[in-house]
A = this chain, B = another copy of it.
């Protein structure tokens, strides 16, 4: 099964937005065993879109088109597909009613142009919208049942909205299942990421060099490194006869990697540093509070991304000024004056203050300088505290980079400290892949 991606949008060609859809789709296509051979970006221009679509139809079995499905005059993916596939547009009344309903249920007036989104090439299958108003389309490129000469299957265009959340939802619900069905593949390809924090990629590569060499002759398992924002991931990809065999190969490889890398591994699969912390706290029957300064709420925001975090997370006191640290968290004025807000005793007092304010067993605290300069401290300097039932540990760290990078690193690092302290209380956890770790 040979696929390609076509991204429609002049704003991408002007460099105004970055196309993140293509790399997400590329990864998902690899997961389901579909070969991606090309990606192309083209502007909202009829002649050029028709050229690109025609070329894609002639060389690929599946073309995933993102963008150009909106209600405005420059959204012409529907028209271009109708022309390339020789399937004139007609209005789909069911979809038209659905779009009108979306507007009335939100108490909004609908512009007439929104009904253009109910125009569908003849013989196409509509993917009803879930969140937005734009339906997706599955359009056979050739007349029904026809396979072009020299090809073993026809070509289908899968058109989905360019808004990432809508695109992903429609891909999972409708496009991926159709691709798998059409591919009729019997090989099961599965990947899992083993996630680490605190080791540079080069050090990890060194640790795993023997395993990489051993797998060079393997015909069912490959490893690769993925890095980004401090989290270095090892992706394991396996080929197997079925789901059960794939899972058992992944489990074996994950156990091996965890043994080699040790406690820098914080999780795998869909686990995140915050979901691992929530899971460990929940298992130990502990509740959590946070005190934050330079991260401004990011630690709380990450923790509450985890569904069910309310079982352990009580809240976070963001204290951005010295006065707030005293008023809200009870940090003594003398400590602030003597050591400055970015200091070990202030971090410790913030953690203990948060634990008492929220009445939790555990608290973490971050105080630091993400710039512009905070009195007496260096840019990127931070103190991270973890208080478990009154037992407080503080670590000084120094992060390179710009404001946002420093804040993200501080958030991940304080959660990783919490994770290590909780795992030290139940040491077996570190090498056992959890059930949630499986994608």
Contact residues of A with B, CB < 8 Å?
A: 10-20, 22-30, 36-43, 48, 52, 55, 70-74, 106, 108-111, 113-114, 131, 163-165, 191, 193, 200-203, 205-206, 212, 224-229, 235, 237, 290, 292, 294-301, 303-305, 307-310, 313-321, 323-324, 327-328, 357-359, 371-372, 398, 400-405, 407
In the assembly, what is the distance between CA of A396 and CA of B201, in Å? 47
In the assembly, what is the distance between CA of A295 and CA of B403, in Å? 22
A selection of 11 A-B contacts at a CB cut-off of 8 Å is: A11-B226, A13-B38, A13-B39, A16-B226, A109-B203, A110-B202, A113-B206, A165-B401, A307-B372, A309-B320, A317-B328
Could you say which of B108, B229, B357 contacts A328, with CB atoms under 8 Å apart?
Answer: B357
Instruction: Chain B residues near A292: list those with CB within 8 A.
Output: 297, 300
Instruction: Chain B residues near A14: list those with CB within 8 A.
Output: 26-27, 30, 36, 191, 235, 237
Interface contact B43-A40, CB-CB below 8 Å: no
Instruction: Chain B residues near A52: list those with CB within 8 A.
Output: 38
- Min CB distance A155 to B, Å, is 17
In the assembly, what is the distance between CA of A319 and CA of B40, in Å? 47
In the assembly, what is the distance between CA of A37 and CA of B203, in Å? 39
How many copies of the polypeptide does the oligomer hold? 2
Interface contact A24-B15, CB-CB below 8 Å: yes
Interface contact B297-A304, CB-CB below 8 Å: yes
In the assembly, what is the distance between CA of A320 and CA of B404, in Å? 25
Instruction: Chain B residues near A22: list those with CB within 8 A.
Output: 19, 41
Known contacts A40-B39, A113-B206: A320-B327 contact under CB 8 Å = no
Interface contact B131-A405, CB-CB below 8 Å: yes
Interface contact B43-A41, CB-CB below 8 Å: no
Interface contact A200-B108, CB-CB below 8 Å: yes
In the assembly, what is the distance between CA of A305 and CA of B254, in Å? 37
Query: Beyond the given A11-B235, A12-B26, A16-B226, could you list 14 further A-B residue pairs with CB under 8 A, ordered by the A residue number?
Result: A12-B23, A13-B39, A14-B26, A19-B23, A72-B202, A106-B398, A108-B200, A108-B203, A131-B405, A296-B305, A296-B309, A305-B407, A310-B320, A315-B319
- Min CB distance A73 to B, Å, is 8
Instruction: Chain B residues near A42: list those with CB within 8 A.
Output: 37-38
In the assembly, what is the distance between CA of A27 and CA of B203, in Å? 35
Interface contact B301-A301, CB-CB below 8 Å: yes
In the assembly, what is the distance between CA of A200 and CA of B309, in Å? 32
- Min CB distance A197 to B, Å, is 14
Known contacts A109-B203, A315-B321: A327-B358 contact under CB 8 Å = yes
Known contacts A165-B402, A202-B71, A327-B358: A16-B235 contact under CB 8 Å = yes
Instruction: Chain B residues near A357: list those with CB within 8 A.
Output: 327-328
Instruction: Chain B residues near A37: list those with CB within 8 A.
Output: 13, 42-43, 48
Closest to A103 in B: B200
In the assembly, what is the distance between CA of A342 and CA of B381, in Å? 38
Known contacts A37-B13, A308-B372: A317-B320 contact under CB 8 Å = no
Could you say which of B111, B203, B296, B404 contacts A205, with CB atoms under 8 Å apart?
Answer: B111
- Min CB distance A105 to B, Å, is 9
Known contacts A72-B205, A304-B296: A20-B18 contact under CB 8 Å = yes
